[in-house]
A and B are shown apart, each in its own frame.
Chain A
Amino acid sequence: MKTLKKRSWAEPYKMKMVELLKMTTKQQRIKAIKEAGYNTFLLKSEDVYIDLLTDSGTNSMSDRQWSAFMTGDEAYAGSKSYYLLENAIQKYYGYKYVVPTHQGRAAENILSQILIKKGDIIPGNMYFTTTRLHQELAGGKFEDVIIDEAHDPLNEHPFKGNIDINKLDKLVKKHGAKKIPYVCLATNVNLAGGQPVSMANLKELRAYTKKHGIRIIHDMTRVAENAYFIQQREKGYDKKSIKDIVKEICSHTDGATMSAKKDALVNIGGFLAINDWDVFEEARNLVVVYEGLHTYGGLAGRDMEAIAVGIAESLDDNHQHARVGQVEYLGHKMMEYNIPIVKPIGGHGIFVDAKAFLPHLTQDQFPAQVLAAELYIDSGVRTMERGIVSAGRKANGENYYPKLELVRFTIPRRVYTQAHMDVIAESAAAVYEKRKTIKGLKMVYEPKYLRFFQAKFEKL
């Protein structure tokens, strides 16, 4: 893989507004993380220097988005901002019908309730926390059909997000196509490390599902980042624009849920898009119960405006080049320090392999959780555990033991500079130096659902 030179990813923007940060001492940070039960989710954001907890809703908007923000139409019904959003989704993604929602998980909730019946099977390329939960709450069962390479952090497969059609075929043969309402296809698979799906794989999936009459629902929150990898890595796509590739991806699917807080460069928002009128009509009725009238779906008019502008900006080739270039820059720095990271480097963050980082800890001692805490203590960098704590428990109460035990360094879009990236890599290196002295954790509080958000720990 070619290494990126620094100058090749110079950002196609400059800073127009800044947000001041508080600098803390190590003593303050030790106290803060202890109070937060060694869970970075429970830290106060003002005690954080560089916030890599998530790339969701933490983006910086452009001056154009801010101006659109000012022209948002806050009418309850028929807001012009809704029509702008609908138009952007139809134009850039090609889906026919649009229902806005306050964020992505709300779209998942509505879609799951409409399409999933009790006992259904929903195959997908790796689970995501909220997605799987909504499928389960609707009575369905998630089955992972991602290629095996995705579970190996060192495997350098260029499209580790791909679906293994054989795994899918086994499910169809076992349960029958009627029990499978749709395949949940995520582009740039988050928990695999921001790994893309190839167009060839998607075409194969389309042909297969067509034959069996199964829908493909596209979890498209990072579709533009996926398109960038297709452009860089897949034969026949190097001359195509990200805009065209994104539209092609969407054309092979039947509908989508989107958290606009990622690719679409906003701080809040999401939507459900679908080509099937009947599903749309049901969604339009359900959205009133959960979210708001179908022409605002729980979003302010100005937020719909900002998404419409953000979608167009996200499909700019230069933007994605700088976006992924920055992530790769950080990844290469870490590799120079010999820090074990998931390869190839993904689109929205660096995923550090905590099992390899802290081989003396068992998975029950929460190696990723403790590593995230140590990084915070070292430099005020906030990262997130994506391992055994995030995976949660099965319906029978047993812990899931995911193969991947990762710490996610997620990079917000257009927020941090190259100097920030250097600070992060140096901090990871400092913790790596003292890795053998790091002890594990025990969980002292565990909530019922999505425990990673609120769980509390103590040092062993």
Chain B
Amino acid sequence: MRTLTEPFKIKMVEPLKVTTEDFRKEALKAAGYNTFLLRSSDVFIDFLTDSGTGAMSDKQWAGMMMGDESYAGAKSWEHLERVVKELTGMPYILPTHQGRAAERILYGILGGKNKVFISNTHFDTTRANIEFTGASAIDIIYDEAKDPEIDLPFKGNINLEKLNELIIHHGKENVAAVIITVTNNSSGGQPVSMANVKELRKICNTYNIPLVIDGCRVAENAYFIKHREEGYINKSCEEIAKEMLRLGDAFIMSAKKDGMVNMGGLLTVKDEALSVKCKNLLIISEGFTTYGGLSGRDMEALAIGLTEVFDEDYLHYRIRSTAYLGEKLRNKGIPVVWPIGGHAVYIDAKQLYKNIPINQYPGQALVCDLYIKGGIRAVEVGSLMFGKYDDKGELIPATNELVRLAIPRRVYTQSHIDYVLDIFDDILKLKNQTQGYKITYEPPFLRHFTARLDKL
């Protein structure tokens, strides 16, 4: 296979600190064996998230300089509004400081006690926002998509048969909305097919239920459709994304992903009455309707980022560079979620660290080893993040014990990735010696952010 060409060169760099294994052992101990609590300056390769960690282009930086910081009616807002209207085809555009604020506003209005939201998979903050309103959140993907090994093109698809059953079971008037997340982050960054969303639209029409597209990675999803779904190979990724977004009644985006910026979010809706309610809430907690808690320069950078992300060469580079890491890991014998998704590689820690029982958090053990061996910061997506306790205080484990290596956009070079691959050779040597962990402190909710652990 030939080397992947990157459609850019480096214009600004950020120096990194190179640390020793002894230094990292101390740093990790001080952070309570929780990588969220590490200082970022002690991290060499930061795969904690692809959210807000991307590198902006020189054009975006130039846009930052042109940002109009007026409180009301700024030029930068008009620019962003124009770009987003064209992308979504929706008439009402609301900027927010980031995606979760858009969720809180929309789901706060649609939700409430006894309401149900149905999604392919709710992300953790999405679920928190929905449950906060008194509503419940139900995830429905196809059963085979839950198997990390099975090779299917659209493992992010929502289970349409299940959806029909659920709507009938709960009563259509109690279903607040159906949320389709593209790509499906929580199931390994797996794409959703256009056919699936079209069918979903029909069901929503039948029952008159609003369809929300959570599209923070809508461009990456479009790339998968282009290359995997029949009839799309000759369409541009931008055309595909536009086609998909026009199927929704509302669109939510954390712009920190495919918006190619470090801060920002969007909420767009078709319905005027709904838009008025959303704007009222926006002003209370975010900011005035023409800035929504963003600086003018951030809106300018986002308007440009939303154009750059649809560059076909960029998307090819983006998806293929993630696959490069994933495929090479698989060739080494590291169990990864297959096929490789758009923004991250997910490792099956239960398979890799078979000697560590689930209640000793094998995923977290791998996260710790990656940091100690290579200064690589990853995140556990398993029982530390999603585990709960039963009445006797025993751990109710999550479905999978995964470790996510999320790749920031346009930040790391191929030699960084090759370095990561080398570190995994060390991990393979360690795999039967590594010990598990126990939790020594945890807050009442979203514990993974601030919990502290100790070696067993």
Is A301 at the interface (CB under 8 A from chain B)? yes
Indicate the member of A102, A109, A299, A449 with the most B CB atoms within 10 Å: A102
What is the number of residues of chain A that contact chain B, defined by CB distance less than 8 Å? 62
Q: Is A41 an interface residue (CB 8 A)?
A: yes
Quick one: which of A43, A46, A103, A299 contacts B287, CB cutoff 8 A? Answer: A103
* A76 and B49 within 8 A (CB): yes
- The answer to the question of A454 belonging to the interface, with a C-beta cut-off of 8 Å to chain B, is yes
Number of A-B contacts defined by CB within 8 Å: 167
Distance between Cα atoms of A109 and B73 in the complex (Å): 25
Whether A133 contacts B73 by the Cβ 8 Å rule is no
Does B136 touch A at the CB level, under 8 Å? no
Whether the Cβ atoms of B75 and A46 lie closer than 8 Å is: yes
Q: Which of B40, B69, B443 contacts A281 (CB 8 A)?
A: B443
When the two chains form their complex, are residues B49 and A267 in contact, meaning their CB atoms are under 8 A apart?
no
B203 within 8 A of A: no
Q: Is A42 close to B, CB under 8 A?
A: yes
**B263–A298 contact, CB under 8 A?**
yes
For the complex, give the distance between the alpha carbons of A43 and B72 in Å: 7
Q: Given A76-B52, A293-B449 in contact, is the A267-B296 Cβ separation under 8 Å? A: yes
Interface centre among B35, B52, B70, B286 (most CB of A within 10 A): B70
Partner of A298, one of B41, B69, B97: B97
Q: Does A44 contact B (CB under 8 A)?
A: yes
Interface centre among B73, B74, B100, B297 (most CB of A within 10 A): B73
**Out of B104, B284, B450, which one reaches A133, CB within 8 Å?**
B284
CA distance A418 to B78 in the complex (A): 30
Asked whether, in the complex, the Cβ of B294 is within 8 Å of the Cβ of A268, the reply is yes
Q: Which of A3-11, A77-85, A170-178, A436-444 contacts B (4 or more CB under 8 A)?
A: A77-85
CB-nearest residue of chain A to B43: A75
- CB A22 to nearest CB in B, in angstroms, measures 10
Q: Please state if A453 and B288 are interface contacts (CB–CB under 8 Å).
A: yes
Contact B262 A77 (CB under 8 A): no
- Chain A nearest CB from B264 CB (Å) reads 9
The answer to whether A290 touches B295 (Cβ under 8 A) is: no
A residues near B445, Cβ cutoff 8 Å: 285
Q: A292: CB under 8 A from chain B?
A: yes
How long is the Cα–Cα vector from A75 to B42 in the complex, in angstroms? 11
Q: Which of B124-132, B175-183, B320-328, B387-395 contacts A (4 or more CB under 8 A)?
A: B124-132
Residues of A close to B204: CB separation below 8 A: none
Q: Which of B277-307 contact A (CB under 8 A)?
A: 279-280, 283-289, 291, 293-298
Q: Which residues of A contact B46 (CB under 8 A)?
A: 75
Residues of chain B with a CB closer than 8 A to A70's CB: 12
User: How far apart are the CA atoms of A44 and B137 in the complex, in Å?
Assistant: 40
- How many chain B residues touch the partner (CB < 8 A)? 60
CB distance from B452 to the nearest CB of A (A): 14
Does B100 contact A75, Cβ atoms closer than 8 Å? no
Q: Which residue among A73, A74, A134, A267 has the maximum number of chain B CB atoms within 10 Å of its CB? A: A74
**CA A291 – CA B37 in complex, angstroms?**
18
Contact, CB under 8 Å: A289 / B125: yes
| Residue contact A77 to B284, C-beta cutoff 8 Å | no
Taking CB as reference atom, which chain B residue is nearest A73? B40
Main DSSP-derived SS at the A contact region: loop
- Given A75-B46, A300-B52, A289:B129 Cβ within 8 A: yes
Q: For chain B, residues 30 to 81, give those with C-beta under 8 angstroms from any C-beta of chain A.
A: 35-41, 43, 46, 48-49, 51-53, 65, 67-75, 78
CB within 8 A of A102: which of B72, B78, B97, B283? B97
Instruction: Tell me, in angstroms, the Cα distance from A48 to B101 when the chains sit together.
Output: 30
Q: Is B53's CB under 8 angstroms from A76's CB?
A: yes
**Which residues of A are found within 8 Å of B296, using beta-carbon distances?**
267
Q: Is A322 part of the contact surface with B, judged by Cβ < 8 Å? A: no
Distance between B293 CB and nearest chain A CB, rounded to angstroms? 5
B41 to chain A, nearest CB (A): 5
Instruction: Please state if A268 and B100 are interface contacts (CB–CB under 8 Å).
Output: no
Q: A57-B69, A450-B283 are in contact. Are A78 and B40 (CB under 8 A)?
A: yes
Check A54 against B71 for contact (C-beta < 8 Å): yes
* B444 interface hit (Cβ, 8 Å): yes
What 1/0 flags go to B250-294 for Cβ under 8 Å of A?
000000000000110000000000001001100111111101011
Cβ of A137 < 8 Å from any Cβ of B? yes
Let me know if B138 is at the binding interface, CB within 8 A.
no
Since A42-B72, A102-B287, A300-B298 are in contact, a sample of 18 more A-B pairs with Cβ atoms closer than 8 Å, ordered by chain A residue number, is A41-B288, A44-B73, A44-B75, A45-B72, A45-B74, A57-B69, A76-B52, A77-B449, A102-B97, A105-B286, A106-B286, A267-B297, A268-B293, A288-B446, A293-B449, A302-B262, A449-B283, A454-B289
18 contacts between A and B (CB under 8 A): A44-B73, A44-B78, A53-B72, A59-B69, A73-B41, A76-B51, A78-B39, A102-B101, A103-B97, A105-B287, A106-B293, A285-B443, A289-B128, A293-B36, A447-B276, A447-B279, A449-B283, A453-B72
Could you list which residues of chain A lie within 8 angstroms of chain B, going by C-beta atoms? 17, 40-48, 51, 53-54, 56-59, 70, 72-80, 83, 102-103, 105-106, 109, 130, 133-134, 137, 267-268, 281, 284-285, 288-294, 296, 298-303, 447-450, 453-454
Would you list the 8 A-B pairs with minimal beta carbon distance, nearest first? A75-B40, A45-B70, A102-B97, A268-B295, A300-B263, A267-B295, A44-B73, A300-B262
